[in-house]
Amino acid sequence: MNGNPIFVAIDTPDQARAAALLAAVGPHVGGVKLGLEFFCACGQPGVRAVAAGRRVFLDLKLHDIPNTVASAVRSVAALAPDLLTIHASGGAAMMQAARQASEAAALDGKRVRLLGVTVLTSFDAADLDAVGQRGAVHDQTLRLAALAQACGLDGAICSPHEAAALRAECGPDFLLVVPGVRPQKFDIADQKRVMTPAQAIAAGADHLVIGRPITAAPDPAAAARAIVAELGL
């Protein structure tokens, strides 16, 4: 683990609130994760305004035909995000097209690193079964991560419960970015497969995505500092 592994998830359509939260917690985290809620409300101008000078994880979970996803990757590459998500369940052709687009749109030799979303941390085995994906969550996660790696993606999104197995399967250079991270005694809310920050790092996570435990706290900066202290940073 190099540096601060925390990407704080700013999930709000309010650009002013996002900017205020980042001003408070920015010194205590490694970067910011901006997702669909923020991006649909504020667009690329909002990303530029809020995240200037910060490491940006753009969590858009792209999933469409290969040509459309490739075009989307090229469109957001101008923002120079550090990380961008696409759904690994979109298949090999889609992921390969995304990788090619990221290479073609590289700025100053630096391209957007792509992460394959495996199984959402709000899913459990019953949810997978309901959408026609038979088998254990663990097996589906490993299957999709291996496919993402074979297609040239830089890493995967997985729950902390699959991190150790993915690290063993995919090796040390495949990025593992882990949501579903909750400090001890924090309500897990709509997440179903969670661990504490320290447990997730011990399991093999490179980066942690932490939202509500920081952003919904009475003092977000203090909450971020507490998590950093828990990690021994």
Question: Which domains are delineated in the chain?
Answer: 6-216 (3.20.20.70)
Under 8 Å CB-to-CB from 129, ≥6 apart: which residues? Answer: none
> What is the average per-residue pLDDT within 213-223?
94
The residue that leads in pLDDT, 138 or 98, is: 98
pTM for this predicted structure: 0.91
Residue 167: Cβ-neighbour burial (10 angstroms; 0-12, 13-18, 19+): middle
Set 33, 61, 110, 192: catalytic member: 61
pLDDT in tens, 167-206: 999 999 999 999 888 876 655 454 455 688 999 999 999 9
Convert the pLDDT of each residue in 144-172 to its tens digit: 999 999 999 999 999 888 999 999 999 99
- The answer to whether residue 75 scores a pLDDT higher than 70 is yes
Would you call 61 a catalytic residue per the annotation?
Answer: yes
Are the CB atoms for 24 and 221 separated by under 8 Å? yes
Indicate the average pLDDT of the chain.
Answer: 91
Name the token pair of 184: 């001890």
Give the bridge partners for 176, in sequence order: 156
Q: State the Cα–Cα distance between residues 149 and 117, nearest whole angstrom.
A: 12
Residues 177 and 157: their CA atoms lie apart, in Å, by 5
Residue 1: pLDDT band (50, 70, 90) is very low
Is the pLDDT reported for residue 223 higher than 90?
yes
pLDDT of residue 113: 97
The phi and psi torsions of 18 (rounded to 5 degrees) equal -60, -45
Cβ partners under 8 Å of residue 6, min gap 6: 28, 29, 30, 31, 197, 207, 208, 210, 224, 227, 228
Kindly tell me the sign of the dihedral angle through the C-alpha atoms of 178, 183, 185, 188: negative
CB of 116 closer than 8 Å to CB of 157: yes
Give the tokens for residue 186. Answer: 């924090």
94 band by pLDDT with thresholds 50, 70 and 90 = very high
Lowest model confidence (mean pLDDT) among 63-72, 126-135, 223-232? 126-135
Q: How far apart are CA 186 and CA 28, in angstroms?
A: 19
Q: CA nearest 112: which of 68, 140, 72? A: 72
Its sign, for the CA torsion 211, 214, 217, 221, is negative
- Give percent of the chain with pLDDT exceeding 90: 74
47 and 77 in contact (C-beta within 8 Å)?
no
